A and B are shown apart, each in its own frame.
Chain A
Amino acid sequence: MSKSKRRRPRIDAALLSEAVWASLVKLSPKAQVRNPVMFTVWVGGVLTLGLYAHSLLAPLGEPPGFILAISVGLWFTVLFANFAEAVAEGRGKAQAAQLRRTRQTIMAKELPITGDPPRPDSPHRLISSSDLQTGDLVLVEAGDLVPGDGEAVAGVASVDESAITGESAPVIREAGGDRSAVTGGTRVLSDWLIVRITARPGETFLDRMIALVEGAQRGKTPNEIALGILLAALTLIFLLVCATLLPFSQHAVAQAGQGRPVGLAVLAALFVCLAPTTIGGLLSAIGIAGMDRLIQKNVIAMSGRAVEAAGDVDVLLLDKTGTITLGNRQASAFVNLPGVEPRQLAEAAQLASLADETPEGRSVVVLAKEMYGLRAPDLEQVTAFIPFSAQTRLSGVDLPGRSIRKGATDAIRKLVAGQGGHFPEVVEAVVAQVAKEGGTPLVVADNGRVLGVVWLKDIVKGGIKERFLELRRMGIKTVMVTGDNALTAAAIAAEAGVDDFLAEATPEAKLQLIRDIQAQGRLVAMTGDGTNDAPALAQADVAVAMNSGTSAAKEAGNMVDLDSNPTKLLEIVETGKQLLMTRGALTTFSIMNDVAKYFAIIPAAFVGTYPALGVLNFMGLATPQSAVLSAVIFNALVIVGLIPLALKGVRYRPQGAAQVLGRHLLIYGLGGLLVPFAAIKLIDLILVGLGLV
């Protein structure tokens, strides 16, 4: 599979300056109210601005400059959170703009719908692609853009789908089978197709993709909602703490007979520092960036919910062919019967495979050449080629006086019996042995005499075993799905290191397997491309449809892999996990930060009333004002500092849950406790150094 060649919009100066502008636009209360945590900060900003204005007219406890500084700090907290979201959205927007250029109104060649099969030379009329209805037939010829999503009903054509997939190599689309789906906006390069339109204008894949990358349809995912509730609860608690602190402070002043009650501006500062603004400000950016990372991997998720579910997947159903093994089986050995020269068998096998155009057949020719230096013999003697067909399940050649055949065991047995020959017992034993070891046996016969067996082997992809091991460590079970018989399947399963396999799989068996696993409470992910995969895709919790697949498969899945690479499932799972980890890590970090902020602000707020509380200022912050400002500035800056982490996600390692938790608690829990002490002290030193306080 070639790497994607899509050029992704990078984070550059243009994108950043757009984000700066967007973060100002997002200051409108309508935008803010969607995020309760940041909305409270916004209210704090408004309040402190009001206090500043008030203090200019009638002096309050604190100097106006100090109140203004707090207010500026709070506004920057809001702005930085807006900026994080805007940067995350920026890339999606840029990409959506690229895609939108592809989605232009074009003239489609509509064919009349008659009872007869549609023909390319029927008279067509030109109509605008925006007027196409589902069920309409259109002719698309070389050089034309496909006017809308649909299904090829006639013809074969090579299609350039780079507008959607970023992959420049053209793909073949043909009527019938699993490669019949065409996407609006792609271009036919050669030949022609007759397409039945399946999506109305405005609801095509391209339209949905634009909406998705733009984040227009972004709904909150279940975990995001739950986290939002937790953060709102924490915000409420801190609102309560700060609101009750005013009467507490007034009471303390009355009792101690000195100092001033804590000012509203300081209370607002304290509240904003305590409220989980770090995670609250970055929460939506994390979600958008998660979707964006998938898009960078050329996977379009139809909902954020599906991405999140990917992190929870317990079982992966993987098709053997294409995912676990290379697409095709290859001849790996010749097993000659007693009394037959190995070379004789190889030669016969090569001859019998000359007319076999399947990859398996070609691999027999190659193996014979490699092992015995056999070259394709003079073909002029050949009187007849017997090509491989699914019905006969054999292939071969007829030479003068010789009839060489190669094929499935049953087919050859029948053939030998028909020619009155003897099918030796020993062949059965060899065939069973090959099957048991995961191979596919092909029996070779020369004039009714069995010479031996060609051993076709599934080639397990390099590195896949290690991948499965990683998955197992993460607690994810892999199940291989194959049409092979149980013996062969077991051998390949063992070689690839999957946990389980489903042999002789039918679409029904696959669907049943998914239901059984789900009944145990587990989540299932699978990939699929064929129409017969659609029921299973619809049932699976995470269903990745290959872009090369049928539109039925794409409709049933909740993600589409534009690269049509089934191994992508593993990366999707990682992205889902990373998304949750990032949220959890930043939540922990945000909450742990509060401890240091308390030690900065509490002594500052009350030292006038109770000088004894000065002991708590063990950071040695210069003045009460510098302490409050340092905490506010740290609180705002930490959002900016964590934007890269929010966008990239916490680094993912395939480890068990306990190890991952231990590491993250150490980094984000303990780190979150300690970092702000140092940072607040540093900011305080800078403020003093600049002579600002």
Chain B
Amino acid sequence: MSTPDAVQLALYLAALLGLSPPLGTYMAKVYQEGRPPLVGRLLGPLEGLIYRACGIRPEQEMGWRTYALSLLAFNLLGGLALYGLLRLQGELPLNPLGLAGMEPWLAFNTAVSFVSNTNWQAYAGESALTNFTQMLGLTAQNFLSAATGMACLAALIRGLARRESASVGNFFVDLVRSLLYVLLPLALLLSLVLVSQGVVQTLAARQEVTPLQETIQGAGQGPARGDAAGQALALGPAASQVAIKQLGTNGGGFFNANSAHPLENPTPLSNFLQCLAILLIPAALCHTFGAMVGDRRQGWVLLLAMLALFLAGLGLALWAEAAGNPGLAGLGLEEQGGSLEGKEVRVGVVGSALWAVATTAASNGSVNAMHDSLTPLGGLVPMLMMQLGEVVFGGVGSGLYGMLCFVLVAVFIAGLMVGRTPEYLGKKIGAFEIKMAALVIMAPLFAVLVPTALAVSGPAAAASSNPGAHGFSQVLYAFSSMGNNNGSAFAGLDATGPLYTLGGAMAMLVARYWLALPVLALAGALAAAKSVPPGPGTLPTHTPLFCGLLVAVVLVVGALAFLPALALGPVVEHLQMLGH
């Protein structure tokens, strides 16, 4: 690894670890006290206005059932609105290219995808969506789905922090505050910086440009085209969407090429900031958790466990990408400094690998390189990061509540081993808690493995572009992504068939709401429970030992569930590449 690469990595980690505590503390204030300093004074009146306009009574707390119903109803309405927009965009304004409405199944898939914070894109943004849809539909859902995840997490944290309480907070208040005080200011800030770096933000239609070089359309498919006519550059209000796509772990690009597109990610600084934004809020939420339960160390342990898993994955991916493909040796195609196939030269091997691991560790899914072209092990890491249940940072809110379910399982096993009814933060972990945590952990496994099995048996198997193990990897990646609300893909898979649009939508729904419901039930049960004061006999959950145990539990569950599938995909690819 070159010095600039090493500096980039070090800076990245330093920025992540340095910025997350203050942001986490700030968010804890948002959920606990209502109005945070400064921003609260600025936007407080707006918050009040929203409550009055919507008839929300902010002081009225909800039990978990009401909270869950509100969440579901709100998301259902959001999904229907988005579906309507996608279907009717041809008749709506801000459509300079005169695009038509989307196909029903694809629109359904897209609506589910954006409501569930997945942002799986089975379409190309610049040629399929109007600016109206991009802004009012997708960007809006980018904010709302992220805020939904954060609200759900806030409820779970309150469940752990409260004692003998019948309520877990007010969903609409949590939603509005997440939006107003966290997501909007951060997204505004980031979009301004991105615009300064050259990310496009305009309502203008395409622009004709004359390239310096002749563009070649598919080597060997005919004569060069566009030599005189030039090229049509797609434009649009990208910066505002790109900021929230990263901050809200959404990942849906404005352009099809996502953050590999020069107009979506033009400079090293924009690349660094976007990559940082992917993990920033999920990391900061760990500190929010620590602050809200009154023990910062508990938050640090979770953050460090996530970081350990992230760094292990990153190490493997960096190594695999740097090693490249030995099969190219002697063909005059020797790679300098690693595998560059499918990568932006300006981003480089390290920058691409870092992004690939970060975007899959968090359930973001934006890309700055083509994951399909990663080396087998370099592609295994993003796949595994998703398959671990998107708990290594994970989605905003959803990553931490998923991780907390793994914590409950770890606490349960460890608690038994020390000879006490397991308890976490003073709450006894009994049959109900384990049942809910198991549901949360199991749901994504089903959402990934069942559709993958369907996709590789029968006629749908033809959808992948590659024969052999890599074809299987593509399918496995697609459902690992949808079944964990990530949204990134191994391109080269034709994901427009009904199995992928409809089955994928089901996987995304399960991964989002089948998790949110047990999490809220858990929040309700924990809030209602008594709290046991800790003593020397209680298992300490802020120690390195517990951190290690948590990492082991996450890894073992993920590895045991996906080892056979991975063995038939990337592992075989890797071994075959080595010439075994």
A581 / chain B contacts, CB cutoff of 8 Å? 416-419
Q: Which of B426, B441, B565 contacts A248 (CB 8 A)?
A: B565
Q: Which of A226, A244, A614, A668 contacts B431 (CB 8 A)?
A: A226
Chain A interface mostly helix, strand, loop or mixed? Answer: helix
A594 / chain B contacts, CB cutoff of 8 Å? 556, 560
Judging by beta carbons under 8 Å apart, are A251 and B461 in contact?
yes
Number of A-B contacts (CB under 8 A): 214
Q: How far is the CA of A243 from the CA of B445 in the complex (A)?
A: 13
B332 / chain A contacts, CB cutoff of 8 Å? none
Closest Cβ neighbor of A221 among chain B residues: B421
Judging by beta carbons under 8 Å apart, are B564 and A665 in contact?
no
CB of B472 within 8 A of chain A? yes
B428-461 CB contacts (< 8 Å) to partner A: 429-431, 433-435, 438, 441-442, 445-446, 449-450, 452-454, 456-457, 461
CB of B99 within 8 A of chain A? no
A624-677 CB contacts (< 8 Å) to partner B: 652, 656-658, 660-662, 664-665, 668-669
Q: How far is the CA of A255 from the CA of B457 in the complex (A)?
A: 12
CB of B580 within 8 A of chain A? yes
CB of A222 within 8 A of chain B? yes
B450 / chain A contacts, CB cutoff of 8 Å? 240, 244
A553-587 CB contacts (< 8 Å) to partner B: 576-581, 583-585, 587
CB of B539 within 8 A of chain A? yes
CB of A161 within 8 A of chain B? no
Q: How far is the CA of A579 from the CA of B417 in the complex (A)?
A: 9
CB of A113 within 8 A of chain B? no
Judging by beta carbons under 8 Å apart, are B419 and A580 in contact?
yes
Judging by beta carbons under 8 Å apart, are A226 and B565 in contact?
no
Judging by beta carbons under 8 Å apart, are B442 and A591 in contact?
no
B557 / chain A contacts, CB cutoff of 8 Å? 237
B571 / chain A contacts, CB cutoff of 8 Å? 613, 616
A251-B414 contact, Cβ under 8 Å, with A614-B580, A658-B543: no
Judging by beta carbons under 8 Å apart, are A606 and B536 in contact?
no
Which of the segments A37-45, A172-180, A467-475 contacts the partner chain?
A467-475
Closest Cβ neighbor of B456 among chain A residues: A251
Q: Which of B472, B560, B572 contacts A613 (CB 8 A)?
A: B572
Judging by beta carbons under 8 Å apart, are B560 and A660 in contact?
no
Q: Which of B434, B540, B561, B564 contacts A237 (CB 8 A)?
A: B561
Q: How far is the CA of A673 from the CA of B441 in the complex (A)?
A: 22
Q: Which of B472, B533, B549 contacts A520 (CB 8 A)?
A: B533
B434 / chain A contacts, CB cutoff of 8 Å? 226-227, 229-230, 233
Q: Which of B457, B546, B567 contacts A606 (CB 8 A)?
A: B567
A262-310 CB contacts (< 8 Å) to partner B: 274, 308
A241-B417 contact, Cβ under 8 Å, with A226-B429, A251-B456, A611-B580: no
Q: How far is the CA of A238 from the CA of B564 in the complex (A)?
A: 11
CB of A249 within 8 A of chain B? yes
A255-B469 contact, Cβ under 8 Å, with A249-B568, A475-B537: yes
Q: How far is the CA of A594 from the CA of B552 in the complex (A)?
A: 13
A112 / chain B contacts, CB cutoff of 8 Å? none
A657-B538 contact, Cβ under 8 Å, with A248-B565, A587-B413, A592-B556: yes
Q: Apart from A241-B561, A652-B419, what 9 extra A-B contacts exist at CB < 8 Å?
A: A225-B430, A233-B442, A245-B564, A312-B420, A475-B537, A584-B416, A588-B413, A610-B575, A657-B538
A314-B419 contact, Cβ under 8 Å, with A240-B446, A244-B452, A244-B453: no
Q: Which of B414, B417, B421, B461 contacts A222 (CB 8 A)?
A: B421
A522 / chain B contacts, CB cutoff of 8 Å? 532-533
CB of B471 within 8 A of chain A? yes
Closest Cβ neighbor of A584 among chain B residues: B416
B575 / chain A contacts, CB cutoff of 8 Å? 610, 612-613, 615
Q: How far is the CA of A472 from the CA of B535 in the complex (A)?
A: 10
Q: Which of B429, B441, B556 is most buried by chain A, counting CB atoms within 10 A of its CB?
A: B556
Q: Which of B446, B453, B461, B469 contacts A610 (CB 8 A)?
A: B469
Q: How far is the CA of A249 from the CA of B461 in the complex (A)?
A: 13
Number of interface residues of A (CB under 8 A): 76
Q: How far is the CA of A612 from the CA of B563 in the complex (A)?
A: 16
CB of A72 within 8 A of chain B? no
Q: How far is the CA of A486 from the CA of B518 in the complex (A)?
A: 52
Q: How far is the CA of A611 from the CA of B457 in the complex (A)?
A: 22
Judging by beta carbons under 8 Å apart, are B438 and A230 in contact?
yes
A254 / chain B contacts, CB cutoff of 8 Å? 461
A615 / chain B contacts, CB cutoff of 8 Å? 575, 580
Judging by beta carbons under 8 Å apart, are B417 and A661 in contact?
yes
A233 / chain B contacts, CB cutoff of 8 Å? 434, 438, 441-442
Q: Which of B420, B449, B571, B576 is most buried by chain A, counting CB atoms within 10 A of its CB?
A: B420
Interface residues in chain B, defined as those with a beta carbon under 8 Å from any beta carbon in chain A: 409, 412-422, 426, 429-431, 433-435, 438, 441-442, 445-446, 449-450, 452-454, 456-457, 461, 467-469, 471-472, 530-533, 535-540, 543, 545-546, 549, 552, 556-557, 559-561, 563-565, 567-568, 571-572, 575-576, 578, 580
**Residues 227-239 of chain A: 1 if any B CB is under 8 Å from the residue's CB, otherwise 0?**
1011001001110
CB of A602 within 8 A of chain B? yes
A250 / chain B contacts, CB cutoff of 8 Å? 456-457
Judging by beta carbons under 8 Å apart, are B472 and A248 in contact?
yes
Closest Cβ neighbor of A262 among chain B residues: B564
A592-617 CB contacts (< 8 Å) to partner B: 592, 594-595, 598, 602, 606, 610-616
4 shortest interchain CB distances as A-B pairs: A475-B537, A584-B416, A577-B419, A584-B417
CB of A506 within 8 A of chain B? no
Judging by beta carbons under 8 Å apart, are B537 and A656 in contact?
yes
CB of A104 within 8 A of chain B? no
CB of A476 within 8 A of chain B? yes
CB of A252 within 8 A of chain B? yes
Q: How far is the CA of A613 from the CA of B469 in the complex (A)?
A: 12
CB of A128 within 8 A of chain B? no
A657 / chain B contacts, CB cutoff of 8 Å? 418, 420, 536-540
A656-B536 contact, Cβ under 8 Å, with A584-B417, A613-B571: yes
Judging by beta carbons under 8 Å apart, are A660 and B438 in contact?
no
A308-332 CB contacts (< 8 Å) to partner B: 308, 311-312, 314
* A to B CB contacts below 8 Å, 15 in the list: A226-B429, A227-B416, A229-B435, A230-B413, A237-B560, A241-B561, A248-B564, A580-B421, A588-B417, A602-B563, A606-B567, A610-B572, A610-B575, A661-B539, A661-B545
CB of A223 within 8 A of chain B? yes
Q: Which of A252, A256, A660 contacts B417 (CB 8 A)?
A: A660
CB of A247 within 8 A of chain B? yes
Judging by beta carbons under 8 Å apart, are B540 and A658 in contact?
yes
Q: How far is the CA of A236 from the CA of B530 in the complex (A)?
A: 31
Judging by beta carbons under 8 Å apart, are A473 and B561 in contact?
no
Smallest CB separation, B464 vs chain A (Å): 9
Q: How far is the CA of A188 from the CA of B578 in the complex (A)?
A: 87
Judging by beta carbons under 8 Å apart, are B442 and A584 in contact?
no
A587-B414 contact, Cβ under 8 Å, with A241-B561, A610-B469, A612-B580: no
CB of A400 within 8 A of chain B? no
CB of A689 within 8 A of chain B? no
